[in-house]
Amino acid sequence: MLLKTVNGKTPAYGSGCYFAENATLIGDIVMGDDCSVWFQAVIRGDVNSITIGDRVNIQDGAVIHATYKTAPTIIGNEVSIGHNAIVHGCTIGDQVLIGMGSIVMDHCVIESQSIIAAGAVVPKNTVVKRGSVYGGVPAKHLKNVSPELLRDEIQRIATSYKMYAGWFKES
């Protein structure tokens, strides 16, 4: 992992985290316990703060950034950020799935137990209400998260990534 201090701020993280060898963490980052940051993912807290809860997985090629002076990034607990997703200057609640290749822009709020579909673009200032599925370009409400989607997608992926991280920590 590349861990870099910028402007006197060094990334901090809790116990049980896994970082791929080429994951990058820069600057003002505070990350909780049991998180994983996968291959070629970049978390760049150089222009504003990034706060990440517990049991968050940031998958291969994802980028987490913020906006200078106006938009920190805040990510809750048990969040999955899919491969090549971009999360930028926004707030993401607990138990959220950000799909592969999706983009969440500045000042968005993704409330808990929601899904952003793969490839979706969530425009600046969008509020995704709790338990919603958003998809498309620009992203729009598609449906509500059923108990099955919560269990079989959001919770399953978060749990699986904790297990996958264990495999890499053992080798």
Q: What is the CATH number of the domain that holds 135?
A: 2.160.10.10
What is the CA 112 to chain-centroid distance, rounded?
Answer: 13
Please report the pLDDT score of residue 170 as a whole number.
78
Please report the pLDDT score of residue 169 as a whole number.
85
- CA 19 vs CA 47, 54, 114: distances in Å: 22, 14, 26
C-alpha to C-alpha distance for 30 and 53, rounded to whole angstroms: 8
Q: Domain range holding 123?
A: 2-170
Please report the pLDDT score of residue 57 as a whole number.
98
Residue of 81, 78, 29 lying closest to 54 (CA atoms) = 78
What single letter denotes the amino acid at residue 84?
Answer: N
What single letter denotes the amino acid at residue 145?
Answer: V
Sequential pLDDT tens for the chain (171 residues): 999 999 999 999 999 999 999 999 999 999 999 999 999 999 999 999 999 999 999 999 999 999 999 999 999 999 999 999 999 999 999 999 999 999 999 999 999 999 999 999 999 999 999 999 999 999 999 999 999 999 999 999 999 999 999 999 877
Please give the tally of structural domains in the chain.
Answer: 1
